[in-house]
Structure 1
Amino acid sequence: MSKVSGRTVGALALAAAVLVLGAARVSPSGSHRGALAPGANEACRFPGEEEVRRQSDELDALQRAAPERVVEKHAVAVALVRGDVGLAEAADRFRAIVAGDPAVVGRVRRRHPGASDEQMWCRHVLDFARAAVAFRPDLDRARLDRLEAEVLGPCPGETRGCVPRPR
């Protein structure tokens, strides 16, 4: 077994301290952005940085809210299949859940091209209802079939029905 000198141990301790303190300086309080530490030179900031940070914070908030929206939509879809709410009310609730995120509305629109707003939201609800029924045997599959039949029919710009039947 080789002997480790005091200098080697000291050098390793110093290197570890530099790494730990350097990381703390670059990323205060666990920030993921590598923001400037308090008291850092303001000349290091770039023009437009505050706007970029504001946009980043908005996107971060939307991303954090996404799982909650999915849980809320699932609950509405389950309530629909149980008969606790009607399809129109479920569609209104879905619309309200995503109202603050125009990107989600755009994705729903692209998923259901040619549909009216009402048809689009009804289809989006039925997408969630189909998933709920697939994973929850306690839910009434026949009710889902009846709801889909209500919405089936030609939509502008489409050759198939408004709501494709699951395979």
Structure 2
Amino acid sequence: MTEPVTIFYLEMLSADQVCGKESSSSQAVLTECADKNFAINRFFYQYVGESWQWHDKLSWRESQWRDYAHRDELKLFMLTWHGTPAGYFELEKHTDGSVEIVYFGLANAYTDKGLGGFLLTQALQQAWAWQATRVWVHTCSLDHPYALKNYQSRGMTLYKTEVE
């Protein structure tokens, strides 16, 4: 029997709510991937998601990835650590002006470097810089054990919980 999965929905209603965390090293560098290239989105989805059971898009064809990643409503940011890809996040702007953190995470080899709070701070700041009316995300009980705590520590509040 499969154990139930709890989905947590969190939001932030003002940029003033961001409880930022700085990087512990100048070797953590965030870069916006402004040149749309679906292969980069696909790479990070697989690279980061393999540890967290991200399977939904693994069977996507190249055209599906291109349609998804090459939209103006989607932004991709990557985190490098000592020049090596370590994590990423994707932001999606919705028609109501809200910005969703669609994907967020670190590759398994980088989860013990104290980068999660820094990366989430960057995601929130970039979302608000995109003139968000609200920033939101959902995570689940299959995610990293500190994921929910990280979202809440950065100032996001839980507004809905579901069990599947």
Larger strand fraction of residues: 2
**TM-score greater than 0.5 by the shorter chain:** no
In terms of Rg, which structure is larger? Answer: 1
Larger helix fraction of residues: 1
Q: TM-score range by the shorter chain?
A: under 0.3
Length-normalised TM-score, structure 2:
0.26
Length-normalised TM-score, structure 1:
0.26
